[in-house]
A and B are shown apart, each in its own frame.
Chain A
Amino acid sequence: MEKPLTQHISFNRPAFHLKDYERVGGYEAFRKCLTLPPAEITALVQESDLKGRGGAGFNTGMKWSFVPMTGDYRHKYLIANADEMEPGTFKDRMLMEGNPHQLLEGMMIAAYAIQADISYVFLRWAYRKAARLLDRAIAEAYEAGYLGSNIRKSGYGLEMYLHTGVGRYICGEETALLNALEGKRATPRSKPPFPQISGLFGQPTIVNNVETLCNLPPLLNNGPDWYKSLSRGQDAGTKLYGVSGHVKKPGLWELPMGTPMEELLQDYAGGMQDGYQFRGALPGGASTDFLVHQHMSVALDYQSVAAAGSRLGTGTMIVLDDRTCPVGFVHNLEHFFAQESCGWCTPCREGLPWTEKILHSIEEGRGSPYDLELLSTHCQQLGPGHTFCALAPGAMEPLQSVLKYFREDFENHITYHRCPWRH
Chain B
Amino acid sequence: MKAKQSLTDSEIAAIEKEILRVPLPRAACIEAMKIVQEHRGWISDDTLTLLADHLGMSTAELDSIATFYNLIFREPVGRHVILLCDSISCYVMGYEKIYLTLSDLLHIRFGETTADGRFTLLPNVCLGACDQAPAMMIDEDTYPRLQAQQLAHILSTYP
A, B co-complexed: yes
Compute how far the CA of A320 lies from the CA of B31 in the bound complex, rounded to whole angstroms.
40
In the complex, the answer to whether B33 meets A85 with C-beta atoms within 8 Å is no
CB of A71, distance to nearest CB on chain B (Å): 19
Asked if A244 meets B27 with Cβ closer than 8 Å, knowing A88-B87, A168-B69, A336-B125, the reply is no
Residues in A whose Cβ lies below 8 Å from that of B133: 244, 250
| Interface-centre pick from B91, B93, B133 (highest chain A CB count, 10 A) | B91
Contact A167 B70, beta carbon cutoff 8 Å: yes
Q: Are B68 and A185 in touch, CB under 8 angstroms?
A: yes
Task: Establish whether residues A246 and B128, one from each chain, have CB atoms under 8 Å apart when the complex forms.
Answer: no
Query: How far does the alpha carbon of A163 sit from the alpha carbon of B18 in the complex, in Å?
Result: 11
B128 touches A89 (CB 8 A): yes
Contact B83 A126 (CB under 8 A): yes
Q: Does A252 contact B (CB under 8 A)?
A: yes
Chain B: minimal CB distance from A349 (Å)? 13
| Proximity string of chain A (323-340) to chain B, C-beta cutoff 8 Å, 1 when within and 0 when not | 010001100110110011
Asked if A329 meets B128 with Cβ closer than 8 Å, knowing A166-B34, A183-B29, the reply is no
Contact residues in A for B71 (Cβ distance below 8 Å): 125, 165-167
A293-335 CB mask vs B (1 if < 8 Å, else 0) is 0000000000000000000000010111100100011001101
B30 interface neighbour in A88, A166, A333, Cβ under 8 Å: A166
Report whether B69 and A167 are in contact in the complex, using a CB–CB cutoff of 8 Å.
yes
A87 touches B89 (CB 8 A): yes
Residues of B88-142 contacting chain A, CB below 8 A:
88-89, 91-93, 124-133, 137, 140, 142
In the complex, the chain A residue whose C-beta lies closest to that of B72 is: A166
Known pairs A84-B128, A88-B87; A183 contacts B21 (CB<8 A): no
Q: Which residues of the partner chain B approach A89 to less than 8 Å between Cβ atoms? A: 126, 128, 130
Q: Is the CB of A318 within 8 A of B130?
A: yes
Q: Is the CB of A93 within 8 A of B88?
A: no
Q: Is B152 an interface residue (CB 8 A)?
A: no
Docked complex Cα distance between A127 and B135 (Å): 13
A34 at the interface (CB under 8 A from B): no
B131, A242: Cβ atoms under 8 Å?
yes
A128-B140, A246-B93 known; A332-B88 Cβ under 8 A: yes
Check A87 against B125 for contact (C-beta < 8 Å).
Answer: yes
Taking the closest CB of chain A, its distance from the CB of B132, in whole angstroms, is: 7
- Residue of B64, B89, B130 with most chain A CB atoms under a 10 A cut-off: B130
Beyond A88-B88, A93-B128, is A245–B30 a contact (Cβ under 8 Å)? no
State whether the Cβ of A220 lies closer than 8 Å to any Cβ in chain B.
no
**B65 cross-chain contacts in A, Cβ below 8 A:** 183-185
A218 to chain B, nearest CB (A): 24
Q: Does B26 contact A (CB under 8 A)?
A: yes
Query: A90 contacts B130, CB within 8 Å?
Result: yes
Chain A residues within 8 Å of B1, by CB: none
Would you list the 9 A-B pairs with minimal beta carbon distance, nearest first? A244-B130, A167-B70, A87-B87, A250-B131, A244-B89, A166-B69, A167-B71, A87-B126, A166-B71
**A to B CB contacts below 8 Å, 30 in the list:** A84-B128, A85-B125, A87-B125, A89-B130, A90-B128, A93-B129, A125-B71, A126-B128, A163-B31, A166-B70, A166-B71, A166-B72, A167-B69, A168-B69, A169-B125, A183-B65, A184-B65, A185-B68, A201-B22, A242-B131, A244-B92, A244-B130, A250-B131, A318-B92, A321-B92, A329-B92, A332-B87, A335-B86, A340-B125, A342-B68
Contacts A87-B130, A125-B71, A336-B87 supplied; 4 other A-B pairs, CB < 8 Å? A88-B89, A93-B129, A126-B127, A329-B92
Chain B residues with a Cβ under 8 A of chain A? 21-23, 26-31, 33-34, 64-65, 68-72, 83, 86-89, 91-93, 124-133, 137, 140, 142
